[in-house]
Amino acid sequence: MNKKYFGTDGIRGQVGTPPITPEFVLKLGWAIGTAFRKQGECRVVIGKDTRISGYMFESALEAGLSAAGAHVQLLGPMPTPAIAYLTRTFQADAGIVISASHNPFYDNGIKFFSAEGSKLPDELELEIERLVDLPMVVVDSASLGKVSRVDDASGRYIEFCKSSVPANTSLKGLKIVLDCANGAAYKVAPSVFRELGADVSVIGAEPNGVNINDKVGSTDLTALRAQVLERGADLGIALDGDADRVLMVDHQGEAVDGDELLYLMAMDLHQRGQLQGGVVGTLMSNLGLELALREKGIDFVRAKVGDRYVMAELREREWVLGGESSGHLVYLRHCSTGDGIISALQVLKALQRTGKSLAEARQGMHKCPQVLINVRYQRGTASPLADPGLQAAVSAAESRLGDSGRVLLRLSGTEPLIRVMVEGQDATQVQAEAEALASEVRALFA
């Protein structure tokens, strides 16, 4: 289905550039309220990350929703998965998150959750788009929506995260460095790990509106690596701006990506007989993950890139575990969407059960060399991946790699980027092929 505004994860772009403008977001709020009010009275919860533009868009959404007769509960800065959880617990009709996740501060976006805390179905997104393009009609004054602020949202979510591990769980003796990316989890994440007994040092917890994801968080592990080594920590945990992703660093300062964390979670569940079915990855998941799971007799399937596609595959197969190498991990026994804090807790509990360090436990999976290069392109370019010259270059690279490698080019669903991925057995060849393809993309579309 072709959508005018919605991408793979809500509506996202640069602040001040359509559609990420106050005028559009006001109309969007009205459209959402109108769409959900068709089934009666409507209540919507709104959370946001720490971007300076969040205040502006929160006000615009609030006004639009009220104009449609929808009641609004404001949660303030909260992780995206917290909004999904609170949408369910408050029995709201919808949840809205103002966030551009791992993007820089000058981007922002609007994400949506249904009453069940899951992404909206395509049909509803299309209906919202239809309404956005209609004239805005305000309900009569007596029917305007009311707005209130929720004061205990953080405490509710902290307890929810802690409930995802057994009640007797103690992290006492575990020394952690926690990087909150100057984002939405800067208050709640340290509390979760400290209340479970861990010795927690925190970085990336001083948001000022423009430093979200800036040289901190899961998009840049440099600071976390340095702090883990300097403090002699057992490991480091890095969240992204809205805390739906998590990556880790072991005690040696080595990065541990989402594929490896997914492997650790899968092995823990498998060994305890609690892995329902297999594991869902994506087209970008490392071949090493597939091979390691296959060796243990665990099924593995690939979905399109994007957590909504991982979720769809899990629900269709009635499986419970999936994720992306970016650190978007989904464990459906506890969450209805990716949750960086809860995923980190599952990994820490798995390490406790094995008695191994993160560095030791990750050795069970051997990653194949994989290179990913992002190339920015002009948005006006029509179907860039269909270009005959680019397709010929991809075919030539695949031929040189043979059966022991993969080439994948795809468009980002959230930014004007072409993602060039090459994977194989020979690291030198993989790097060379990826750089050659990236150069071809730049020559054609940059």
- Which DSSP category does 44 fall into? E
Helix (H), strand (E) at residue 182: none
Choosing from 101, 191, 326, 336, the catalytic residue is 101
- Which of 261, 260, 253, 190 has its CA nearest to residue 226? 253
Give the span between the Cα atoms of 402 and 174, in whole angstroms: 45
- Taking each helix axis from N to C end, the angle separating 340-354 and 153-162, rounded to the nearest 10 degrees, works out to 30
- 8 A C-beta contact, residue 178 and residue 190: yes
Which strands form 279-282's sheet, in the order they lie side by side? 300-303, 279-282, 321-323, 329-331
Give the span between the Cα atoms of 49 and 243, in whole angstroms: 9
The DSSP code sequence of 328-358 is -EEETTT-SS--HHHHHHHHHHHHHHHT--H
The letter for the amino acid at 406 is: R
Give the span between the Cα atoms of 14 and 279, in whole angstroms: 35
The encoded tokens of residue 27 equal: 């109309």
Active site residue 383: no
- 8 A C-beta contact, residue 321 and residue 280: yes
- Which DSSP category does 299 fall into? -
Where are the extended beta strands (E) located within 38-181?
Answer: 43-48, 71-77, 94-98, 107-114, 147-149, 175-179
Which residues form the catalytic set?
101
